Amino acid sequence: MPKHGPRVPPEAADRGRRWRWAAAVAALSVTLIWCGTWMATPSTGSLEARVAALDRSHQTRPLNSETVPRYLAEAVIAVEDQNFYLDRGVNLEGLVRAAGYDLLHLCTCEGGSTITEQLAEDLYLHGSDRSIWLRWVDITLALKIEDHLSKTQVLDEYLSEVRLGNGTVGMEQASRRYFGQPLSRDDLAQLAMLAGLPQAPGVLDPLRNPEGAKERRAAVLRQMAVDGYISMAQERRADRAPAL
């Protein structure tokens, strides 16, 4: 006699079909929203011109791979986006972690922002992505930026336009404001302090809160040592330097 598998109850078969239809509708909806967002958001082809115009308005200049100190780039990556060279402008793990936190606390408190997302947020979203819709737009813009610019260019543009307190825009202007010298003359301690400012420029302002700025600098130096950018001896020497 032919063998038959277990009979599937009609109710279970109906539930299975409903779930498959729901999954298909959800996937189609996400795809349509994604395509609509991609078309509705601005092109990032003018991003470099935007940064240049912003810098001109603040009487500073855009940075490039020849004018960004190596320790500054490494410090910023160490504390802002350790997967910068590995992701495509969006860190899925960070997004999931931030979404879990927000759902647990019923807020839009956490960001999962990469350096590319922060660049998009500052240039196109007036410095805020504190809503589900704006985060979706931020992610879309970050992917567009990564399609248009290399990683080195993304980092250069970010370091050129990031707000760093006291009305300063970009690392070059911040160096002149806080240390009275061009970025090219800053030592490891000074570069680490600048790299720590984006987390909370108003709170970590070295002129107003030198102790807070030093604590943040210590965290930056520690992470640089952990990631292998500097030695433990370099970390200790830089950590002993005064705030200003």
- Per-residue pLDDT for 172 more than 70? yes
Amino acid letter, 8: V
Higher per-residue pLDDT: 227 or 101: 227
In this structure, is residue 119 part of a structural domain? yes
CATH classification of the domain holding 213 = 1.10.3810.10
What is the helix (H) or strand (E) element at residue 212, kind and residue range? helix 210-226
- Per-residue pLDDT for 49 more than 70? yes
133 and 180 share one domain: no
Stretch 79-93: mean pLDDT, rounded?
A: 86
153 and 225 share one domain: no
- Per-residue pLDDT for 159 more than 90? yes
For residue 178, name the pLDDT band (cuts at 50, 70, 90): very high
What is residue 19's predicted lDDT score, i.e. its pLDDT?
74
184 and 218 share one domain: yes
Cβ-based neighbours of 191, under 8 Å, separated by 6 or more: 69, 71, 72, 75
In this structure, is residue 113 part of a structural domain? yes
In this structure, is residue 214 part of a structural domain? yes
Domain that holds residue 100: 85-161
In this structure, is residue 147 part of a structural domain? yes
114 and 149 share one domain: yes
Q: Are 244 and 179 in contact (CB under 8 A)?
A: yes
Instruction: State the total domains in the chain.
Output: 2
Tens-digit pLDDT profile for residues 31-47:
777 676 666 666 677 78
In this structure, is residue 33 part of a structural domain? no
What six digits make up the tokens of 96? 């999931």
Backbone CA torsion sign across 53, 141, 137, 198: negative
Q: Which of 119, 146, 161 is the last residue of a domain?
A: 161
242 and 176 share one domain: yes
**What is the percentage of the chain residues whose pLDDT exceeds 90?**
46
Q: Are 37 and 124 in contact (CB under 8 A)?
A: no
Q: Which of 122, 146, 161 is the last residue of a domain?
A: 161
Q: Which of 129, 161, 193 is the last residue of a domain?
A: 161
Say how far apart CA 39 and CA 30 lie, in whole Å. 14
Say how far apart CA 118 and CA 159 lie, in whole Å. 11
DSSP characters for 91-115? -HHHHHHHHHHHHHHTS-------H
187 and 145 share one domain: no
Q: Rounded to an integer, what is the distance from CA 67 to the centroid of its chain?
A: 21
Say how far apart CA 200 and CA 175 lie, in whole Å. 17
185 and 143 share one domain: no
Stretch 64-72: mean pLDDT, rounded?
A: 95
In this structure, is residue 222 part of a structural domain? yes
